[in-house]
Amino acid sequence: MTTKFLSIHGHFYQPLRRDPFTGRIGHEPWAEPYHDFNEKINAECYRPNAEAGNFRHMSFNLGPTLACWLEEKDPRTYETILAADREHNLRYGCGSALAQAYNHAILPLASSREKRIQIAWGIADYQHRLGHAPEGFWLAETAVDYASLNIMAAMGIRFTILAPWQAATPVDPSEPYLVSLSGGRSITVFFFDASLSEAVSFNDEATVNADVFSARLLAKQLNPQKLSRGEPQMLLVATDGETYGHHKCWRDKFLTHLFNVSAPRDGFEVITLARYLHLHPPAREALVEEDSSWSCHHGLKRWRDSCDCIVGSGSWKWHLRHALTRLAAKVDAIYELQAGPNLRDPWSTVEDYVEVKLGRVSPRAFLSAHSSGAPVEACQALLRLLEAQYYRHVMFTSCAFFFEDLDRIEPRNNIAFAARAIALIRSASGIDLEEAFVSDLSAARSWKTNRSGADIYREVKSQRRKRREEAGAATGSLTAA
């Protein structure tokens, strides 16, 4: 019986790219010859890995916004990925996939209610697609705090993945650790092998040859004391899933050979995290370093202010987050004031609203189940308020704050989501939140182009107006014809 295990975790995720007003993804020139980056990355990574059977061997999380796009645009790849988890669940009694914070928000920077909704939506999306409850949960950027872990555990999550430097004291990453939480709860943490994960992510030479990778790099990371004592140990490589084919060409083929030839030949059993946890539960406890992540060593400053992780000034991040946070508070207050009297529990209704977005229930049936006798004329306003809640959460997608400058597609997308929330609130309540939001956005400024968040917001509005005029002109031409 082997005592050497290898687990490869792929974090597969794309942000919501579609225009919140039209529902369509615009042309992204940098993705050419493809229409957009979802199409490009699918052709280079998701489809090849699915066709090669790599998902059958991996631990992975499939972000809800990416899963939704795959379901519509490439159902064959989508079903192949999901089938890998379902087969694993049938064979071992546990899935190979992990759930994920719904739209990749940085949970330690979120309020308690935001945390609950992000986690609840992520779990609901997972259950809808895979047909069973998740045991593991991927935290965006592995950003962690105890409050998030407590909510995850309360919702039935058994484990998550962190970087070794996110432990408050040194840990041995070849074994899982138990983290004690409040209320007598606990959660297991797998700390990935930093040396191996960084080599796969950033060292092109490391993944040219799977045989060399297994014989040299994997063997080097094994704990010799555990080997001599015959104790089990697992090497965990955790990276962006897009590493295998998109960030690095042909690495899908590297992965296939590693899974099927190299690792087994060198005595490793390839295993998923859930299955390893079932076989070898944690024997030791660890403490977690709060407000830490795998991609920033400065207390999550990368997503809220200037940080040494990036070049240039990051002060725009503080102003953008401030503007979004103030807007979110107003959207919440209006929702609670206007929707509250017609709903049995306004905030559990928001948690459940993902069922409408997933198409599991019709809007009318949803309101019938959650409203306390709302009059017919109030139903449309209630649905708009709930849709505003959806976009009010999506506007905190982490990608907007990850890179160095404001004048990029990622912050623009979040500002567009905010614009959609504002429009829905205006339509539902007659209250216009635009002026104050634009004023707050004016303080966020690109250090590269000097454009402000207000400029980007006005551009979003202008493009929306242009599309409406073009649609009207086209309708008029058809009518005249």
What is the pLDDT, as a whole number, of residue 187? 99
* 210 CB-near residues (< 8 Å, 6+ apart): 254, 255, 257, 258, 261, 262
Helix (H) or strand (E) run with residue 60 in it:
strand 59-62
What is the number of other CB atoms lying within 10 angstroms of the CB of residue 111?
A: 14
Domain 4-285: which CATH class?
A: alpha beta
Q: Which residue type, as a one-letter code, is found at position 385?
A: L
Instruction: Give the separation between CA 301 and CA 159, rounded to whole angstroms.
Output: 25
Where are the domain boundaries for CATH 3.20.110.20 in the chain? 4-285
Among the listed residues 100, 177, 98, 161, the one whose alpha carbon sits nearest the alpha carbon of residue 134: 98
Q: What percentage of residues in the chain have a pLDDT greater than 70?
A: 97
Using CB atoms within 10 A of its CB, is residue 308 exposed (0-12), middle (13-18) or buried (19+)? exposed
Query: Can you list the alpha helix ranges (DSSP code H) found in 207-257?
Result: 210-212, 219-221, 224-229, 251-257
Q: Which residue type, as a one-letter code, is found at position 31?
A: A
* 393 CB-near residues (< 8 Å, 6+ apart): 102, 103, 105, 114, 117, 118, 121
**pLDDT tens, 303-344?**
999 888 888 999 999 999 999 999 999 999 999 999 999 999
Helix (H) or strand (E) run with residue 191 in it:
strand 186-191
pLDDT at 477 over 60: no
pLDDT at 478 over 50: no
Query: Can you list the alpha helix ranges (DSSP code H) found in 249-301?
Result: 251-257, 263-265, 273-279
Q: In which band, very low, low, confident or very high, does the pLDDT at 442 lie, cut at 50, 70 and 90? A: very high
What is the pLDDT, as a whole number, of residue 472? 60
Structure tokens at 450: 């000097």
Among the listed residues 342, 327, 343, the one whose alpha carbon sits nearest the alpha carbon of residue 431: 327
Q: Mean pLDDT of all residues in the chain?
A: 96
pLDDT at 434 over 50: yes
**pLDDT tens, 134-168?**
999 999 999 999 999 999 999 999 999 999 999 99
What is the pLDDT, as a whole number, of residue 471? 59
Mean pLDDT (whole number) for 245-264: 98
